[in-house]
Amino acid sequence: MKRLSSKTWKIGGGVLVVLLVLFAILSRSKGDNASAAETSKLESVTVGSENIAVATTGSIMSGPTISGTLEPEREAVLRAQVQGSVLQTYADQGQAVSAGTVLARIDATGIQDAYNSARAGVVAARNAADIATRNQARNEKLLAAGAIAERDIEESRRAAIAAQAALEDANSRLATADKQFRSTTVTSPFGGIVSERPVSPGDIVQPGTALFTVVDPSSMRLEASVPAEQLSLIRVGVPVVFTVSGYPGRDFVGHIVRVNPTADPTTRQVRIYVSIPNAGRALVGGLFATGRISSATKTGLVIPASAVDVRGTSPSVMRVRGGKAEKVQVQVGITDKTSETIEVLSGIQAGDTLLLGAAQGITPGTPVKVSLPAATPATASSTGGL
């Protein structure tokens, strides 16, 4: 075996040194790259206040959504009962009236004549009936005394019966004439508002002609349809919370008073009827309403439904805690589709800050800063940060 010369050892040693130096440089480069990647991964992300929500304790409702047009619960269309000319009207559209208020008068000249004739007929028929009754009574006494035969009294009995029938007929004609005469004065059946008045003084009306429409605005009615499969969530007395276009942000409450016992065979929808108190008369007929039947109402932890990610095996949210984003599994309860909120049963607590929208895509562990709107002098004392 040959022994290596000192020159060979020197060359080999030099190569080894070079290799060690290169290895050190490469290792350092990899470390620097890893450090840079780690630094990049932990770079903080700033999110706007519109992309965060705070879990709060509050009420949440669930139930079928409905929509429909509001109508006064009491409405009366007053129609002419007789033919004649409208002499005068005493109420206009939008005017408040009380029960019994005179709204119009119709010419009663011909009807007055018929009434007077019928009244005179009653007087004549009553006199004739009185005479026939007295004659019968006298003949009954004569029969008892044996002064006349039985066959002689039959005529007076028939006359008394006929006279009484004539009196009843005269009274019936007078009642009809009196009703027609009173119909020439049109009155409001209840207190309310005149919503329509399609006639004017001088118009000739026929029986059945619409004269006025009176509504009672103190109570409104909402008719709506609900899918038959949701019938188990509906019953008389259940509250209905709804809004109307004329009052943005304001909720009104009514209650189901009737449920149609049959479903529409074509649409498979069930008709429901909701009564709505309207003492302040804020609501008017014709407004379109949208709302929700409050089949279930609970108090608990409530968050926006958009904060919940349901794509995984179980629902989760992105929470900001200690300045970092973290993914948290949650158990959810009922959902309020109208307010787009959801009940959380476990996983987070009141006061937790959650990420919304695009911010939900932030990687767990990423430092998060929340950018709040600039405070105004009036609200500066009420703003804060994480």
- pLDDT tens-digit profile of 169-217? 999 999 988 888 899 999 999 999 999 999 999 999 999 999 999 999 9
Yes or no: is domain 108-179 CATH 1.10.287? yes
Q: Which residue has the higher pLDDT, 108 or 255?
A: 255
Q: What is the mean pLDDT of residues 262-267?
A: 92
Say if residues 319 and 328 touch (Cβ distance below 8 Å): yes
Neighbours of 211 (CB within 10 A): 21
Q: Per CATH, is 45-60+299-373 categorized as 3.40.190.10?
A: no
Asked if pLDDT for residue 242 goes beyond 70, the answer is: yes
| Reported pTM | 0.59
Q: What is the rounded CA–CA span in Å between residue 91 and residue 86?
A: 13
Rounded Cα–Cα distance for residues 242 and 247 (Å) = 11
Neighbours of 152 (CB within 10 A): 12
Across the range 263-274, mean pLDDT stands at 93
Closest CA to 222 of 245, 238, 240: 240
pLDDT value at residue 258 = 95
Residue 85, Cβ neighbours under 10 Å: how many? 13
Q: Are 307 and 53 in contact, with CB atoms under 8 Å apart?
A: yes
Rg of the chain, C-alpha, whole Å: 45
Q: Which helix (H) or strand (E) holds 317?
A: strand 316-321
d(CA 210, CA 44): 74
For residue 31, is pLDDT > 60?
no
| CB distance 58 to 299 below 8 Å | yes
* DSSP conformation letters of 191-234: SEEEEE----TT-EE-TT-EEEEEEEEEEEEEEEEEEGGGGGG-
CA distance 96 to 194: 6
Q: Does domain 65-72+216-297 have CATH number 2.40.30.170?
A: yes
Q: Is the pLDDT of residue 45 over 90?
A: no
pLDDT digits (tens, 9 = 90+) for 120-144: 999 999 999 999 899 888 888 888 8
What pLDDT is stored for residue 248 in this prediction? Answer: 84
DSSP string, 84-123: EEEEEE---TT-EE-TT-EEEEE--HHHHHHHHHHHHHHH
Band of the pLDDT at 372, cuts 50, 70, 90? low
- At 17 the pLDDT is 46
Task: Please state, in angstroms and rounded to a whole number, the distance separating the CA atoms of residues 347 and 316.
Answer: 9
Does residue 22 carry a pLDDT above 90?
A: no
Q: What is the pLDDT of residue 316?
A: 92
Cβ neighbours around 323 below 10 Å, total: 12
Alpha-carbon span 177 to 169, nearest angstrom: 12
Mean pLDDT of 25-39: 48
Q: Domain boundaries in the chain?
A: 45-60+299-373, 65-72+216-297, 108-179
pLDDT at 377: 44
Asked whether the predicted pLDDT for residue 346 surpasses 70, the reply is yes
CB contact at 8 A, 241 and 296: no
Distance CA 185, CA 112 (A): 12
State the pLDDT at residue 16.
45
pLDDT attached to residue 155: 84
Q: Do domains 45-60+299-373 and 108-179 have the same CATH topology?
A: no
Q: Tokens in use for 335?
A: 């959902």
Per-residue pLDDT tens over the stretch 136-169: 888 888 888 877 777 778 888 888 899 999 999 9
Q: Which of 210-224, 279-293, 345-359, 367-381 has the highest mean pLDDT?
A: 210-224
Enter the DSSP assignment of 282.
-
Task: Please state the φ and ψ torsions of residue 361, each to the nearest 5 degrees.
Answer: -85, 0
pLDDT of residue 176: 87
Percent of the chain with pLDDT strictly greater than 90: 48
Name the one residue in this structure whose structure tokens are 């149609």. Answer: 260
pLDDT for the residue numbered 3: 47
Does the structure show a pLDDT above 70 at 235? yes
**44 with 322: CB under 8 angstroms?**
no
Report the C-alpha gap between 325 and 354 in whole angstroms: 9
Altogether, the residues listed in the chain come to a count of: 386
Residue 2 has what DSSP assignment?
A: P
pLDDT at 291 over 70: yes
Write out pLDDT tens, residues 110-122: 888 888 899 999 9
Written as six digits, the tokens of 332 are 């959810």
One-letter amino acid of 113 = D
Q: What's residue 259's pLDDT? A: 94
Predicted local confidence at residue 373, as pLDDT: 63
